[in-house]
Amino acid sequence: MRQIKSFNVPRAAKVLGALYFALGLVILPFVLLRVLTAPWGPGLVGLILTLLSPLIYGVLGWAFGALSAFLYNIIAKQVGGIELEVVDSP
């Protein structure tokens, strides 16, 4: 068993920010379709927020990724890190 002792906070934040941005791009067409076909009309603010949602998701992913990595590092020092079983590939 190997143990994750700590995370590099800026790198973890960058990876999670990019991941959430990419996920925002994947769901954008579905949300945009729903906003554009709403019976009450999309509204300018709703349309702008929908188009900016991948960026918003990315920023929130970065912030919560940094917070999560930071808290993990503190807690792992107290109780130990997550253990992984690593197998070398043939």
Q: Does a structural domain hold residue 80?
A: yes
Q: Does a structural domain hold residue 65?
A: yes
pLDDT for residue 38: 81
Categorize the per-residue pLDDT at 90 as very low, low, confident or very high, splitting at 50, 70 and 90: confident
pLDDT: is 87 or 14 the higher one?
14
The helix-helix angle for 9-36 and 44-79 (nearest 10°) equals 150
pLDDT for residue 12: 97
pLDDT for residue 88: 87
Q: Does a structural domain hold residue 67?
A: yes
- Provide the residue range defining the domain that includes 29: 2-84
Q: Does a structural domain hold residue 45?
A: yes
Query: What domain count does the chain have?
Result: 1
- Kindly give, in sequence order, each residue whose CB lies less than 8 Å from that of residue 25, ignoring residues fewer than 6 positions away: 54
Q: Does a structural domain hold residue 21?
A: yes
- Say how far apart CA 52 and CA 74 lie, in whole Å: 33
2-4/82-84 β-pairing: antiparallel
Tens of pLDDT, residues 30-82 = 988 888 888 877 778 888 888 999 999 999 999 999 999 999 999 999 999 99
Q: Does a structural domain hold residue 90?
A: no
Q: Does a structural domain hold residue 75?
A: yes
